[in-house]
Amino acid sequence: MDMPDLYTPFIIPHDTMQRHEEVQPVASDLRRDPHGRVFNDLDHQVRISNTDQIEVGTCLGEGNFGKVFEGCLFKKGEGAPQPVALKILFEPENNRKSTHQGFQTRLEAACTAYLTARQEVSILEGLSHPHIVPFMGLALRPLSLVLGLAPHGALDSVLKRLHGAGTYLPLFVIRQIILQVAKALAYLHSYNIIYRDLKSENVLVWDLPSSSDAKPDARVNIKIADYGISRTVLPTGAKGFGGTPPFIAPEILRFAGKGTYTEKVDIFSLGMFIFELLTCRMPFAEMNNPSSLVCQGGRPSLTTQEVQCYPTCLLDLLSVCWSQEPGDRPSAADENPEPSNSFSLDHFTHIRPAQVWLSSCTAGSTNALEILSFGPSCDTVIDHKTLLLRAVSITALCVVGNSVWCADTNGVIHIYSINTLTLINQLQLPVQACVSVLSLHQLPGKETVMVVASLTDCGIIFCCQQPHLELTDSEIGIEQFRVFRCYCSSLVPTDDGCELWLGQGSGSILIWNVTSQTSTNCLYHSLDPLPKSTCCFFLVAAKPLGSQHTFVWSYNFPGTVVYCWNASRRCIVERLDCSTIYSTVDSTILGSPQNPEGSQVTALNIIDQYLYIGNTKGRIIVADAITLQPLCLFPAHSPRDFYIKCILSISSRQDLVFEADQAARSKGIVSVGRGYVDLLNNGGAGVRKRESLAEQERIQSRPGDGMVNHTYVLSWSAENWEYY
Tell whether omega for the bond before 246 is within 30 degrees of 0, i.e. cis.
yes
Q: From the CB of residue 187, how many other CB atoms can be counted at a distance below 10 Å?
A: 19
* Distance (Å) of CA 164 to CA 156, 159, 557, 692: 12, 9, 53, 37
- 361 with 367: CB under 8 angstroms? yes
Which DSSP string do the residues of 83-128 spell out, in sequence order? EEEEEEEE--S-SGGGGGG-HHHHHHHHHHHHHHHHHHHHHHTT--
The string of DSSP codes covering 564-583 is EEETTTTEEEEEEEGGGS--
Three-state SS across 508-564? Answer: EEEEEECCCCEEEEEEECCCCCCCCCCEEEEEEEECCCCCCCCEEEEEEECCCEEEE
The rounded Cα 643 to chain-centroid distance in angstroms is 24
Q: Which residues contact 470 (CB under 8 A, 6 or more apart)?
A: none
Residues in the chain, overall count: 724
Sheet holding 356-362, edge to edge: 356-362, 366-374, 381-388
For 447, half-sphere exposure in the C-beta direction (CA atoms, 13 angstrom radius) is 7
Distance CA 280, CA 422 (A): 58
Check the annotation: does 87 bind a ligand.
yes
**CA-wise closest residue to 488 among 459, 524, 523:** 459
Q: Helix (H, G, I), strand (E, B), or coil: what is residue 411? A: coil
Cα gap 255→614, rounded to integer Å = 46
**CB neighbours (10 Å) of residue 315?**
25
Question: Is 724 in a helix, a strand, or coil?
Answer: coil
715: closest CA among 649, 653, 638? 649
- Neighbouring residues of 559: CB distance < 8 A, sequence distance ≥ 6: 534, 600, 601
Q: How far is the C-alpha of 208 from the C-alpha of 206, rounded, in Å?
A: 7
Distance (Å, whole) CA 22 – CA 213: 57
Quote the DSSP letter at residue 507. Answer: T
Please, are residues 586 and 577 in contact by the beta-carbon 8 Å criterion?
Answer: no
CA distance 612 to 632: 10
Conformational region of residue 81, where left means phi above 0, alpha means psi within -120 to 50, and beta covers everything else: beta
List beta partners, residue 713.
672
Residue 60: φ, ψ to 5°: -95, -25
Give, in degrees to the nearest 5, the angle at Cα 672 between 671 and 674.
125
DSSP code per residue over 146-196:
EEEPPTT-BHHHHHHHHHHHT----HHHHHHHHHHHHHHHHHHHHTTEE--
Return binding residues for ATP. 87
Return binding residues. 87
